Amino acid sequence: MSIKTEDVETEKSKGHSEHTQAAMIAEGLRGKFGRPVKITLFGAGSSFTPRLLNDVLQIPGADRGEIALVDIDAERLGMMHKLIERIAAKHGKDQGWKVISSTDRREVMAGSDYLTCCVEVSGMDCVAWDNDIPLKYGVDQCIGDTIGPGGLFKALRTVPVFLDILRDAEELCPNAIMLNYTNPMNIMCLAAGRQSSIPVVGLCHSVQGTSQLLADYAGVPYDQMKWACAGINHMAWFTRLEHEGKSLYPKLIDLVKDYVGETYEKDPVRFDMMLHFGAFITESSGHLSEYLPYYRKRKDLIERHCRDEYRGGSRFYASNWPTWRADADEERRAMVAGEKEITWERSWEYASWIIEGREKDVPVRIHGNVMNHDGTGQGKLISNLPTDGCVEVACMIDMNGINPTRYGALPAQMAALCDSNMRMFDLAATACIERSKEAAIHSLLLDPLTSAVCSTEEIKAMATEMFEAEKDFLGEYK
């Protein structure tokens, strides 16, 4: 079974200020690390890797440490090794930070303080199969990597490898924290929470990106907006959205209530959900449309609610992933050759802020994907969602690591939609852990979009066809 890298560029976040939130989080973070730290990154050829490590190397006071890069693609790994060394030199950290790399993770991961997962388990063929086989059965996907048939089969390929990495971590670096960026985020973190003693937090950029976007839509300064957000990954709800003590929702509703206009066209599915369910959701319109039974089950509904690219374009991810991957490879080659300048400032991605907050013992708030219980299996973070599930909530970071905060109860209609997704994720995680085709099919039977389009027999036939097409990447499923 091969492990390749996660190459999804964060295109949907481009155009927002990367620095407003970073500057706000950084306020009060001073001083030096009390020790050198070791960070191991799996799937090092990923498009995420240069930016995440550029962020780390810009942490004030992080003057010593070791970065271990792991990828089974030796060529991409070698290029990334050179690029990270150049980034370290650019920031004047090349004397204090050592970069090592290997195609064998066990050679380099021992003693790690932080693990970062950006792996892609498959080749480009699987991305096409994940999209095109379901399309034969009428299931039209935009992204197809976190829920639905595409998300399920990505999980079936990826979760077993993730659990193997975590088992190695339990042996070689039992005090490490795993920062997961790989999708399908919920299923990955859910399976890990049920199987591993390593603390795992799933990190997405949709909360940061959407909170900035909402300030733009409402026309208010970001640092003056007050908000609260909770739910599940890609379906977390901004249940509080205020400026100067007043809700911003009346203003947003007035902007889009007639389903026309520039603002509405930027996010048609999310605004429709806001109008009907009462709050704005974290994921882009196109990706969100896959989590729901309303928008992609008929051609006329797709034409009415969906637009191009991240606003709902059919086959958007499958059509563009090969180009994104090639472009990322070309950019890093140019940077290593000195043909393109490395100009990145520190971004709002959470990884470096988690490391800084923990090492300096200065509280930092993030939104992370964690198990919905307090570690005893009893107290819930979101009281009206399943205890043994994975939720996305505010977490405080300090010397004790990841400290999830209790949200309480979501409004009933919002909790119900999250719960519908979590039932699918529950069985998908079981399928990955037990290597069970039956549990995988049961999971797909509960998927909101798939069940809105297909009969039970069609869903079983689709899953069977996908298992056969991807058998070389799946390993043994009973």
Would you say residue 70 has pLDDT above 70?
Answer: yes
For residue 1, name the pLDDT band (cuts at 50, 70, 90): very low
- Check residue 256 and give its pLDDT: 98
**Backbone dihedral angles phi then psi of residue 44, each to the nearest 5 degrees:** -65, -20
Would you say residue 25 has pLDDT above 60?
Answer: no
User: Is there a catalytic annotation at residue 205?
Assistant: yes
- Check residue 24 and give its pLDDT: 46
Question: Which pLDDT tens digit goes with each residue over 298-321?
Answer: 999 999 999 999 999 999 999 999
Question: Which pLDDT tens digit goes with each residue over 235-259?
Answer: 999 999 999 999 999 999 999 999 9
- Check residue 30 and give its pLDDT: 65
Q: Which of 205, 234, 373, 442 is catalytic?
A: 205
Q: Which of 4-18, 111-125, 166-180 has the highest mean pLDDT?
A: 166-180
Would you say residue 82 has pLDDT above 50?
Answer: yes
- Check residue 22 and give its pLDDT: 55
For residue 125, name the pLDDT band (cuts at 50, 70, 90): confident
Q: Which domains does the chain have, with CATH numbers?
A: 4-126+144-205+322-330+350-362 (3.40.50.720)
- Check residue 162 and give its pLDDT: 98
- Check residue 32 and give its pLDDT: 86
What does the mean pLDDT of the chain come to? 93
Question: Which pLDDT tens digit goes with each residue over 260-300?
Answer: 999 999 999 999 999 999 999 999 999 999 999 999 999 99
- Averaged pLDDT for residues 200-211: 97
Would you say residue 134 has pLDDT above 90?
Answer: yes
- Check residue 347 and give its pLDDT: 95
- Check residue 377 and give its pLDDT: 60
Q: For the chain, give the percent of residues with pLDDT over 90.
A: 90
Would you say residue 142 has pLDDT above 60?
Answer: yes
For residue 181, name the pLDDT band (cuts at 50, 70, 90): very high
Would you say residue 7 has pLDDT above 90?
Answer: no
- Averaged pLDDT for residues 124-140: 95
- Check residue 333 and give its pLDDT: 96
- Check residue 14 and give its pLDDT: 39
For residue 185, name the pLDDT band (cuts at 50, 70, 90): very high
Would you say residue 123 has pLDDT above 80?
Answer: no
- Averaged pLDDT for residues 94-116: 98
- Averaged pLDDT for residues 420-449: 98
Position with higher pLDDT, 3 vs 269: 269
Reference 86, options 60, 67, 62, 110; nearest CA is 67
Would you say residue 345 has pLDDT above 50?
Answer: yes
